[in-house]
């Protein structure tokens, strides 16, 4: 079965690198994706793990434009005493689309990424044993995920 998601959008808040109970680094973020048919945006709940998460937290800020390739994942959660299904995108590849000197991060006084830090690449693959079906416990305080009743 095919489970692929490709999105281009802007990060809605500064990223905070966290560690799961198994000490795996991750970032949880929301991506604002413009709808082509109207002036509204969709807000998509996303996660990135391991080196992808570390690089995102290091170089991206609120408003950064990225392209994301990944997969859709669901999880169940108890919200106000009712079980709900939450849909999220797990980012496997993230490409930075802001030009140096014109991107939001540059305008906020953040130093431009040094190309030597990531071997002249602005795309990060998460290929480490694809442990993305993590059973790690993660705190979802302030979770912006999509809730389905």
Cβ contact 30:43 at 8 Å = yes
What global pTM score does this model have?
Answer: 0.68
Phi, psi at residue 37, to the nearest 5°?
A: -95, -5
Percent of the chain past pLDDT 70, that is, above it, reads: 66
**SS (HEC) of 92-141:** EEEEECCCCCCCHHHHCCCCCCCHHHHCCCCEEECCCCCCCCCCCCCCCC
Question: Whose CA is closest to 88, among 29, 138, 40, 141?
Answer: 29
Cβ contact 10:29 at 8 Å = no
Per-residue pLDDT of the chain (149 residues; tens, 9 = 90+): 999 999 999 999 999 999 999 999 999 999 999 988 888 999 999 999 999 999 999 999 999 999 999 999 999 989 899 999 999 999 999 999 986 544 444 444 444 444 444 433 445 555 443 444 444 545 444 444 444 44
SS3 56: helix
The count of other CB atoms within 10 Å of the CB of residue 78 is 8
Q: Which residue has the tokens 């413009």?
A: 34
Q: What is the pLDDT of residues 14-35, one digit of tens each?
A: 999 999 999 999 999 999 999 8
Q: What is the pLDDT of residues 31-54, one digit of tens each?
A: 999 988 888 999 999 999 999 999
Joined tokens for residue 120: 């002249």
Four-way CATH pick for 5-148: 3.90.420.10, 2.30.60.10, 2.40.50.140, 1.20.140.10: 2.40.50.140
Give the domain ranges of the chain: 5-148
> Rounded to an integer, what distance in angstroms lies between the CA atom of residue 60 and that of residue 106?
10
Cβ contact 35:42 at 8 Å = yes
């Amino acid at each position: 079965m095919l489970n692929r998601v490709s999105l281009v959008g802007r990060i809605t808040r500064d990223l905070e690198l966290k560690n799961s109970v198994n000490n795996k680094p991750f970032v949880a973020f929301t991506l604002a994706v413009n709808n082509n048919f109207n002036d509204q945006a969709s807000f998509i709940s996303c996660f990135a793990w391991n080196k992808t998460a570390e690089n995102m937290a290091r170089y991206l800020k609120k408003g950064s434009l990225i392209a994301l390739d990944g997969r859709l994942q669901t999880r169940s959660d108890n919200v106000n005493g009712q079980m709900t299904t939450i849909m999220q995108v797990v980012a496997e590849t993230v490409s930075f689309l802001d030009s140096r000197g014109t991107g939001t991060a540059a305008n906020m006084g953040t130093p431009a990424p040094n190309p030597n830090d990531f071997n002249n690449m602005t795309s990060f693959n998460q290929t480490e044993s694809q442990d993305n079906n993590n059973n790690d416990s993660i705190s979802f305080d302030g979770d912006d995920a999509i809730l389905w009743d």
